[in-house]
Amino acid sequence: MLKDLDDLRIRESEKVNLGKRSTRIEPVYSSKKEYKELLADHVAQLSKLQQVHYADNRYALLLIFQAMDAAGKDGVIRHVMTGVNPQGCQVFSFKHPSAQELDHDFLWRSNRSLPPRGHIGIFNRSYYEEVLIVRVHPEILLVQGIPDELINGGKVWEHRLRSIVDMEQHLYRNGTRIVKFFLHLSKEEQRKRFLDRIDATAKNWKFSIADLEERKYWKQYMLAYESCLSATSTKNAPWFVVPADDKQNARLIVSQLIVKTLTDLKLSYPEANAQRRKELLDIRKRLEDEPSD
* Ranges of each domain in the chain: 5-288
Give pTM, 2 decimals.
Answer: 0.93
Mean pLDDT within 204-233: 94
End-to-end CA distance of the chain: 55
Which whole-number Å values give the CA distances from 158 to 93, 148, 154, in the listed order? Answer: 25, 16, 9
Domain at 5-288: CATH code: 3.40.50.300
pLDDT of residue 3: 56
Indicate the pairing of strand 239-243 with strand 176-184.
Answer: parallel
Rounded Cα gap, residues 90 and 239, in angstroms: 21
DSSP 8-state code for residue 28 = S
Cα within 13 Å of Cα(38), Cβ side: 20
Q: CA 7, CA 10: separation in Å to the nearest integer?
A: 8
Question: Does the pLDDT at position 152 exceed 90?
Answer: no
Dihedral sign, CA of 265, 250, 131, 228? positive
Please, what is the average pLDDT of the chain? 93
Mean pLDDT of 163-168: 98
| The predicted structure's pLDDT at residue 2 | 54
Share of the chain above pLDDT 90, in %: 76
Mean pLDDT, residues 183-188 taken together = 98
pLDDT in tens, 67-85: 999 999 999 999 999 888 8
Q: For position 182, what pLDDT does the model report?
A: 98
Question: Across residues 146-174, what is the average pLDDT?
Answer: 92
% of the chain with per-residue pLDDT over 70? 99
Give the tens place of pLDDT for each residue, 33-56.
999 999 999 999 999 999 999 999
